[in-house]
């Protein structure tokens, strides 16, 4: 692919016709494409649905000829408004929905070659069940890899809660989820990308084939043979989960620059992602705690034994969260998804996913019971789920919380349409967990703001959902949100741990990397997208939730 491993060599594809642009009155019935799960709404001069990498190239060139900017839209589940257009062309990847091939990968992994618009759910399910809608069209090597997949137990580890997200969207946002506690975010599961650049050429990026120089330099060869040089930013990447800004590390793989770039450097049209052998046995356990401090001690204790216990996820439900769930049960009864047997004395809860060898499962559960007892919990009150239907009931219980929060905010918005939920997405290093939680509570209690705390406590990544009752509380909540971001960064953490920066949190980039860091990011973007046509308003324009 490259003559020097620091220089990327994009290639032109044979020209094809661009798909029809939907413009003017034709756009009317496509209003849903102007918004995403952030509930922000944008505008576009035209919308296009290219059906192949070659058509994406043609679309880029046609948009360029009209002087239009381009916003990439995928499944639109983003909650930071990255896919919401600010004018120009909205390029939807919805028609890129094929899974093209399987291959045997290194260390008994299986590589899945998919187009960017394939849903995460389809990839996860295909890997889990060995059933793929497109397998009838695959080559013999794919058939052999499929046979291997079907003989074993495999998992595609990235697990953001919203599985209708597209695989290209999860890569563009470096999405993570509850199981990132054990497996990390999307990044390490991406082996190769096909990326369309803003000059209509295509980059084939394969992990291990192109790295930045030790001093951070990298280049892109232009169509005339000249090389445009850039430099990886020199800022220090947070020591926590982080989905804010361009990934930066000395000598890094250049593939990693595209992962998490939120549709601002290039358009990912295809990806090769890696499924790995799944644990033989798994179990979900909900533990209940009389106080938050007991739950925090338990978190530390299980974290210290994460390997022996085969922990995949450690998730928190704070006292405010359990209160909301109890209210939901009282209002809706059994359809609430909240069981009647929620222990009356429980103040908060910690949910665990365990994945281990079949022979180890029983001893692991005994060890877990011992940890619960040692931390003052009651093993009798714990719920465990192994069978699919039991796990599904636990999943419904867990999801009842965000649903209740969203219903509450919808109710408030009927009275005050300008008010939205203020949902934080911040992670801190291990030693900051108690400190950050105390900070959240003292600021919000003092301000008298309603809020709920839950989320990925294993990674010190708690979501604080502030639920302002009126515009005054909303304004106050926004100020406090920013103070949280500053404090979390001062602790070495990230104010954008998994949902990205998008258009709503761009002010956080300067808090995270300083003005110089943001300038370095802009310089990287200028190498990929010199006319700044891609993803206008995303990452760089100074917005704050």
Ligand X SMILES: Cc1cc2nc3c(=O)[nH]c(=O)nc-3n(C[C@H](O)[C@H](O)[C@H](O)COP(=O)(O)OP(=O)(O)OC[C@H]3O[C@@H](n4cnc5c(N)ncnc54)[C@H](O)[C@@H]3O)c2cc1C
Smallest distance from ligand X to CB 360, Å: 28
Burial level of 91, CB count in 10 A (0-12/13-18/19+)? Answer: buried
Contact 282, 388 (CB under 8 A): no
Contact 282, 219 (CB under 8 A): no
Instruction: State the DSSP code for 516.
Output: H
Smallest distance from ligand X to CB 395, Å: 13
Q: Which residue lies nearer to ligand X by CB, 447 or 507?
A: 507
Residue nearest ligand X (C-beta atom):
169
Smallest distance from ligand X to CB 535, Å: 6
Instruction: Give residues in contact with ligand X (CB under 6 A).
Output: 36-37, 71-79, 82-83, 93, 116, 160-162, 165-166, 168-170, 172-173, 175-177, 262-263, 267-268, 498-500, 535, 538
Burial level of 392, CB count in 10 A (0-12/13-18/19+)? Answer: exposed
Q: Which residue lies nearer to ligand X by CB, 198 or 281?
A: 198
Supply 32's token pair: 């849903």
Stated length of the chain: 545
Neighbouring residues of 44: CB distance < 8 A, sequence distance ≥ 6: 27, 33, 34, 71, 85, 87, 88, 89, 90
Instruction: State the DSSP code for 33.
Output: G
In which residue are the tokens 């994009």 written? 10
Q: Which residue lies nearer to ligand X by CB, 72 or 518?
A: 72
Q: Which residue lies nearer to ligand X by CB, 77 or 356?
A: 77
Q: Which residue lies nearer to ligand X by CB, 172 or 275?
A: 172
Smallest distance from ligand X to CB 178, Å: 7
Smallest distance from ligand X to CB 97, Å: 12
CA 144 vs. chain centroid, Å, equals 31
Supply 9's token pair: 């060599």
3-state secondary structure of 339: coil
3-state secondary structure of 412: helix
Distance CA 401, CA 423 (A): 13
Smallest distance from ligand X to CB 244, Å: 12
Q: Which residue lies nearer to ligand X by CB, 177 or 230?
A: 177
Q: Which residue lies nearer to ligand X by CB, 157 or 177?
A: 177
At CA 166, angle to CA 165 and CA 170, rounded to 5?
80
Instruction: State the DSSP code for 178.
Output: T
Q: Which residue lies nearer to ligand X by CB, 267 or 385?
A: 267
Strand partners, 463: 454
Q: Which residue lies nearer to ligand X by CB, 320 or 529?
A: 529
Smallest distance from ligand X to CB 269, Å: 7
Smallest distance from ligand X to CB 378, Å: 30
* DSSP run (H or E) holding 373: helix 358-374
At CA 100, angle to CA 98 and CA 106, rounded to 5?
130
Smallest distance from ligand X to CB 74, Å: 3
């Amino acid at each position: 692919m490259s003559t020097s491993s620091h220089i990327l060599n994009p290639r032109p594809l044979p020209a094809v016709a661009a798909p029809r642009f939907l413009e003017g009155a034709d756009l009317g019935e496509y209003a849903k494409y102007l918004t995403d799960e952030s509930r922000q709404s944008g505008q576009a001069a035209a919308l296009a649905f290219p059906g192949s990498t070659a058509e994406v190239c043609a679309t880029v060139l046609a948009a360029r000829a009209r002087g239009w900017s381009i916003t990439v839209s995928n499944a639109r589940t983003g909650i930071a408004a990255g896919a919401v257009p600010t004018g120009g062309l909205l390029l939807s990847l919805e028609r890129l929905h094929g899974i093209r091939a399987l291959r045997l990968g290194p260390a008994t992994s299986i590589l899945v070659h998919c187009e960017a618009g394939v849903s995460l759910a389809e990839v996860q399910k295909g890997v889990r069940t060995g059933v793929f809608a497109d397998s009838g069209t695959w080559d013999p090597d794919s058939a052999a890899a499929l046979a291997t997949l079907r003989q074993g137990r495999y998992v595609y580890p990235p697990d953001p809660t919203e599985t209708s997200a597209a695989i290209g969207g999860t890569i563009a946002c470096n999405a993570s989820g509850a199981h990132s506690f054990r497996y990390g975010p999307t990044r390490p599961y991406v082996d190769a990308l096909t990326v369309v650049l803003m000059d209509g050429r295509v980059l084939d990026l394969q992990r291990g084939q192109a790295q930045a120089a030790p001093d951070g330099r990298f280049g892109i060869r232009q169509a005339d043979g000249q090389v445009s040089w850039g430099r990886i930013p020199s800022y220090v990447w947070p020591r926590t989960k982080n989905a804010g800004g361009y990934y930066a590390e000395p000598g890094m793989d250049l593939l990693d620059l595209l992962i998490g770039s939120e549709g601002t450097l290039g358009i990912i049209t295809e990806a090769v992602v890696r499924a790995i052998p799944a644990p033989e046995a798994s179990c979900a356990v909900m533990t209940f705690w009389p106080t938050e401090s007991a739950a925090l001690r338990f978190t530390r204790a299980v974290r210290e034994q994460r390997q022996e216990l085969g922990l995949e996820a450690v998730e928190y439900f704070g006292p405010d969260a359990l209160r909301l769930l109890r209210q939901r049960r009282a209002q809706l009864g059994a359809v609430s998804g909240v069981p009647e047997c929620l222990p009356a004395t429980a103040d908060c809860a910690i949910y665990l996913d365990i994945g281990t060898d079949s022979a180890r499962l029983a001893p692991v559960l005994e060890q877990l019971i011992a940890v619960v007892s040692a931390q003052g919990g009651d093993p009798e009150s714990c719920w465990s789920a192994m069978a699919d239907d039991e796990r599904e009931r636990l999943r419904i219980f867990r999801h009842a919380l965000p649903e209740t929060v969203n219903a509450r905010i919808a109710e408030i918005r009927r009275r005050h349409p300008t008010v939205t939920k203020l949902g934080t997405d911040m992670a801190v290093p291990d030693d900051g967990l108690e400190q950050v939680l105390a900070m959240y509570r003292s600021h919000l209690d003092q301000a008298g703001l309603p809020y709920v705390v839950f989320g990925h406590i294993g990674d010190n990544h708690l979501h604080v959902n502030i639920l302002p009752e009126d515009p005054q509380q909303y304004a106050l909540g926004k100020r406090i949100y920013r103070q949280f971001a500053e404090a979390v960064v001062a602790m070495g953490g990230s104010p954008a741990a998994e949902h990205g920066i998008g258009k709503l949190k761009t002010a956080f980039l300067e808090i995270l990397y300083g003005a110089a860091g943001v300038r370095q990011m802009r310089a990287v973007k200028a190498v990929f997208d010199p006319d700044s046509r891609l993803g206008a308003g995303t990452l760089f324009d100074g917005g704050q939730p």
